[in-house]
Each structure stands twice: as C-alpha cells, then as structure tokens.
Chains A and B, each alone.
Chain A
Amino acid sequence: MGRLIRLDRTGHSTLAEWTAADEAAARRASEAFALELERGFIASATLADGTAEVVRELPVEAELVTLRRPIVGG
C-alpha cells in the first residue's frame, strides 16, 4: 500500500493512501500530490535501498512518498 505524507507543524499528515489495484484511490492520491506540488512542496519517494528520489509525478508503486518544504543555504 502506498502512502503520501506531508511534513508539517503536526509532525506529519497523511494526505492519501492507495493500492495499485485501487485506481480511484490512486487517482485521488495523484490529485492531492499535484496540489501540494503547486503549493511549493517537494516530493520524494523512498526506494528499497533506503535512498530517496525526487519525483514530480506520483509513483503509484512507491510505498512512501514524502512532501517537504524547500531548503536553502544559510
């Protein structure tokens, strides 16, 4: 099952959950994902080897997609 979370002032919020078989849920997740990207969030999918990858479309096969705010140099 895939999960879309956003890091925010509550710790993190789960915005959507989906399975590859549930197309409607995946579509809702994809819409929520696009909305957050428009708000300026950056998305990354956690890969099996522990690394992460920036994504600009929701990877429906991913188990966890995290939305974070941009970073800047100090």
Chain B
Amino acid sequence: MPLETPTRVGLGLPEAERLGWNRERATKRTLRRDGRRWTAWTAWVVGLFSAPGLALLLIEPLTFPVALLCFGHAFAVPALQARRGARAVVAMGSAKSAASPAGEPTGPGRVALGLLADLVGHEGIDVVRGSGLAPYPGALGFWLVGEQGAYLVRRSVLGRRVFSWCVRVGDADGLPAPDRVAHLLLALREDEEGFATVANLNFSGAEWRLRRHLSAGERSALRVLRAR
C-alpha cells in the first residue's frame, strides 16, 4: 500500500482538546474580558483599602499611622499579585532555571539551543541570549516564552497590558532548558489559542506593574517589543 499524504484538517492542540467542554477556549474576546476583570479587581482592592484610610484622615488626622497601614495594603496587594505573575515565568539562566546560570550551555543543552535558534530565527536568538525568553509574534499578541510560563504582551487603549501564564512541560525530567522552551514554543506555534487555553492565567495588568519585578534581561526583552 503506497504512503499517502494525510489531509490537513487543522488539528488543534491535543492538550486543549483533553480539557473538555467546561474549559472556555481563549480568544481575543476572552483576553479583553479577562483583562477588564483584572483591572476591576485591582481597582476594587485599591479602593477597598484606600477608602478607610481617607475616612480616618478626614475624621481624625491623628489616626494617620492607621491610615498609612491602609494605604500600604492598597499598594502591597496589587504589587504582590504582579510579583506572583513575574515569578510564574522561569527564564533560561534564572535562579529557578534548569540551565547553568553561567556561560554557554554544553552537551545536550547546546544541541537544544541550536534547535531553539532554528525555531526563533536570528533576531529571536538575540532576545533569547539577552533575556532567557523566546519571542513569538502571535495573533493574540507578542509572546515571551520561558522554560516554564509565558508572557503575552498586548496593546490596549491604556498602554501595554501583560498577561502572565503558568504552563510547563508535563514531564520535563532530564530535558535541557532550551528544550523546555522549545516544547512550549512548538505548542504555541501549533495552536496559539489552544496554548492560552491550556495555560493558567496568573496575572494581567499594565506592563509597568510587572516590569519592576523582572530581571534586567527580561526587561530588555520588553524593550525590544516596545521598539517593534
């Protein structure tokens, strides 16, 4: 029996299919909605803690130490959420990376880095070397993919919004760091919406909120995006 070229049927990400009907597929519309929800939640938290502080100051200015505690909470809760978003993404060479933090990878890591370079191209590998994150220009926005987790940067009327996603290779045992990135990048290229469906949204907010929790390399990757 001769081998035949299979018909292309535009298969989605198998991992997303396995999630079943109760997991809504991520689209531009759901991302806009989720972004608005995160903004509303953040505004609610800031308002919830700031209002008592302001009320205390109006009633009795001598209560300012308590009011300061309220304002501190209003600042700290959104900041902690942003830090959690930043920590969800593990860049190659970072403290939580499977790769050695110093120098060029050797052996399997080097082989894997070669494949990753093929996937991201010349410009992309410069971003990888500088930040430990692999860039991917998708239809939903611009992605920066780590060994674990990914950032999605989208333009909005109020500036640039970053979504932080928790996602990883199910069984990463023994995989070199660039291969872990390549796994996520391949899945992203196969089905961007499916990738965002499988991944868990960890944070969504203005880029400046996240930037202060990123390493210098990661911030440089965001600067590269800004220049595009």
Contacts and interface: CB of A to CB of B under 8 A. Distances in A.
Nearest to B148: A74
Contact of B3 (A30, A54, A68, A73): A30
Interface in B4-29: 5-6, 8, 10-15
Interface in A1-57: 5, 7-12, 23, 26-27, 30, 42, 44, 50-57
B167 A53 contact: no
B6 A57 contact: yes
Contacts of A8: 174-175, 179
Interface residues of B, number: 49
B110 interface: yes
SS class, residues of chain B in contact with chain A: mixed
A56 B11 CA distance: 9
A32 to B, nearest CB: 13
A8 B3 CA distance: 28
A52 B176 contact: no
A52 B111 contact: no
B171 interface: yes
Interface string B39-67: 00000000000000000000000000000
B170 interface: yes
B169 A71 contact: yes
Given A44-B189, A53-B11, A71 B167 contact: yes
A25 B48 CA distance: 67
A71 B114 contact: no
B183 interface: yes
B11 A55 contact: yes
A68 B198 contact: no
Contacts of A44: 186, 189-190
A36 to B, nearest CB: 14
12 contacts: A30-B3, A42-B187, A51-B189, A68-B169, A68-B182, A68-B183, A69-B170, A71-B15, A72-B15, A72-B167, A72-B170, A74-B168
Given A44-B190, A53-B190, A54-B11, 17 more contacts: A5-B115, A7-B182, A10-B111, A23-B3, A42-B14, A44-B189, A52-B189, A54-B191, A56-B11, A60-B5, A68-B183, A69-B171, A70-B170, A71-B15, A72-B198, A73-B167, A74-B149
Interface of B: 2-3, 5-6, 8, 10-15, 88, 107-112, 114-115, 148-149, 165-176, 178-179, 182-184, 186-187, 189-191, 195, 198-200, 202
